[in-house]
Amino acid sequence: MGVTLEPLEFDVPPQVPLARLATHRGHAHTAGAPLPPIEARARRLVPDPDAYARVCGFPLGGPLPPTYPDVLTRGLQLAVLTHAAFPFPLLGILHTEQRIVARRDLHAEEAMSGRSWVEGLRPARRGVEFELHSAVTVAGVEVWHGTSTILSRSLPGDGQKRPRPQEPAWTPARSVVWRLPPDLGRRYAAVSGDHNPIHLHPLTARLFGFKRPIAHGWWAIARAVAELDTDIQTPWQLHARFSSPLPLPGRVCFTSGPLRTGGHHFELRRREVCLSGEVRPA
């Protein structure tokens, strides 16, 4: 019989203390068992997007930045990941893939609710992966859904190398070089609530095997969406894949262009591709 857990219910997403993030160690997980059905819900989401928009390159005013619902539900995500039944430590986890479905623009004055949950545990080459879902609802209708694929290296992987997905046919149309300042991880953490130490400081990044801090995956996706600007029209869907980290400080080249099957492809490249993705009509 599967485990039954009542959803965590909040009026607004909670503020999860940093000490709780740092001390959550998880518990023993039985190989092959599914993740516990942990879910957190908030009756109200309270947008305050200006600082986020500045860090990620979105214009101020108008609709909410289309990646901002991830931040609106961040407290719910952290409540799920630090739940007593969640089996893995939170520190050092890696964001490897992202999907978004945005069914329409969102506005700060709307009455929004949110929820977050985990599922989809599976082995990876060097650990295990799971899916962290977040959804925003207006008047009972889901209008935004994000699915983050997360890698935890707290368990041994199966050692099997997965084939790299084949990139779709696209035509490069423009490119620009971004400069990534050394404090970018701390600045994004301040506006997003994501204080994973791999992003914050050289000393804390080295504890998890990185020579330098690396940029947040969600920042990279948000900055790419902001760069695409009017190339994205709602409703839209995004699929992005991380290939290698973006060390801080540094420079990265953003390139985008139309897909032959509709929509736009984008990638971030240093010597190699670090992030690639597609935005298509939903």
d(CA 114, CA 135): 6
pLDDT value for 34: 86
Split at pLDDT 50, 70, 90, the class of 1 is very low
Give me 27's structure tokens: 């518990």
- CA-closest candidate to residue 242, choices 206, 279, 209, 277: 277
d(CA 181, CA 185): 9
Omega before residue 235 within 30° of 0, cis:
yes
The structural architecture, per CATH, of the domain 8-281 is Roll (3.10)
pLDDT per residue over 29-56, tens digit each? 776 788 999 999 999 999 999 999 999 9
Q: Is the pLDDT of residue 89 over 50?
A: yes
> Quick check: 24 and 90 in contact, CB under 8 A?
yes
Split at pLDDT 50, 70, 90, the class of 2 is low
Q: DSSP states of 54-111 as a string? A: HHHTPPSSSSPPTTTHHHHTHHHHHHHHTSTT--S-STT-EEEEEEEEE-S---TTS-
Q: At 171, phi and psi to the nearest 5? A: -120, 110
d(CA 262, CA 110): 31
Burial 27-36 (b: 16+ CB within 10 A, else e): eebeeeeebb
Alpha carbons within 13 A on the beta-carbon side of 265? 16
CB atoms within 10 A of CB 157: 15
Split at pLDDT 50, 70, 90, the class of 253 is very high
pLDDT per residue over 136-187, tens digit each? 999 999 999 999 999 988 777 676 777 777 778 999 999 999 999 999 999 9
pTM exceeds 0.75 for this model = yes
pLDDT per residue over 216-241, tens digit each? 999 999 999 999 988 888 999 999 99
Q: Compute the average pLDDT of residues 244-269.
A: 95
Task: Report the run of H or E that residue 50 belongs to, with start and end.
Answer: helix 50-56
